[in-house]
Structure 1
Amino acid sequence: MAKRILTVDDSASIRQMVAFTLKSAGYEVVEASDGNAGLSKAQAGQVDLVLTDQNMPGMDGLTLIRSLRRLPNYATVPILMLTTESSDQMKAQGRAAGATGWLVKPFDPQKLVDVVRRLVG
């Protein structure tokens, strides 16, 4: 059975690029347009990995990560930030919130697939 990946980003084009890249690599992809929708979709059905943007309306990525980490089913699920934010301070905040890793946009599709494979197979 294919691993399920939740991608959370307010940019439809980024979600489409991520979904296309991961589906082409054999993953099932669930999409959400902001942190609130991402949290709802994560609670509605277990996923194997979460990819989230930082800057989104409603609930940002760091808040989403903290919210997911409070759920027993997501205590150890890999969560990657995929964002334009690249400062050391923001990365430190991401680690403190529970992010597993950090990818900067624009992303290299092959690098994304490689990282996902390392984390979930």
Structure 2
Amino acid sequence: MTARRRTILVVDDTPDSIMVLCALLKEAYDTKVAVSGEVALRVLGAAPVDLVLLDVMMPGLDGYEVCRRIRAMPATAALPVVFLTARDTPEDAALALAAGGDGHLAKPVDPARLHAMLGRLLAP
């Protein structure tokens, strides 16, 4: 019996970032895409995913608020959330953790770090 492929929700308002992330993930994961925080919350309400890759800086709801809302919903409270951002200071990492994130990766994303973090967070 083969293991079920995990599904990752990629949330980013930049088409190039979405394209790069989906290309990095396609061999090991199924992906869903949301182009805003509002769309991400609707996707999460409609179908389960195993992890969220969440951009911080987006119009409307920023990534921190999206993560707080994910944590507030019983169905998604334990869902792993990894922040992706061009802002890579210790303060930014602290904000991500304070909002409920499980990890913080700088853009451009290092593929090895991304896959290592996903493997840790999605371990059986």
- Counterpart for residue 12 of structure 1: 15
Does residue 1:53 correspond to 2:72, yes or no?
no
Paired AA for residue 20 in structure 2: M
SS of 1:110 mapped into structure 2: helix
Structure with a larger share of its residues in helix: 1
Between 1 and 2, higher relative CO (CA 8 Å, sep ≥ 6) is seen in 1
Name the larger-Rg structure. 2
- Output the TM-score relative to the length of structure 1: 0.94
Unaligned runs of at least 5 residues, structure 2: none
- Output the TM-score relative to the length of structure 2: 0.91
Residue-pair matches, total: 120
The within-5 A match list for 1:1-121 is: 1-24=4-27, 26-121=28-123
In 1, Cα distance between equivalents of 2:95 and 2:110: 23
In 1, Cα distance between equivalents of 2:53 and 2:118: 10
The structural deviation recorded for 1:33 is 0.6
In 1, Cα distance between equivalents of 2:38 and 2:87: 20
